[in-house]
Amino acid sequence: MPDCDLLEKCGFFAKYRDSLNLACRGFIKSYCTGEKMDDCERKRYRQQHGAPPVDEMLPTGQMVPSDYLS
């Protein structure tokens, strides 16, 4: 499975790639480097708005809970 083609540009991935939070790691595994990469709300947002969403938007479209960086 190839990585998401936006991986290098994605603020969410850049900010949370080293997070130890299990939920966050799960999102990265299933979306950014997994089978759900084409179902990513961040990707959809970028296509619709021509600009990336805030880094804290999850691939599901929800916002990252504040404890995700811990």
64 part of the interface to ligand SF4, by CB under 6 A: no
Residue 64 has what DSSP assignment? P
Kindly provide the residue ranges of all beta strands, DSSP E only, lying in the chain, ordered along the sequence.
none
Segment near ligand SF4 (CB under 6 A); pick from 18-26, 31-39, 61-69: 31-39
Number of residues that bind ligand SF4 (CB under 6 A): 13
Q: Give one DSSP letter per residue of 39-51, joined into a string.
A: G-HHHHHHHHHSS
Binds ligand SF4 (CB under 6 A): choice among 1, 2, 4, 17? 4
Distance in Å, CB of 36 to ligand SF4, minimum: 7
**Calpha distance 18→69 (Å, rounded):** 9
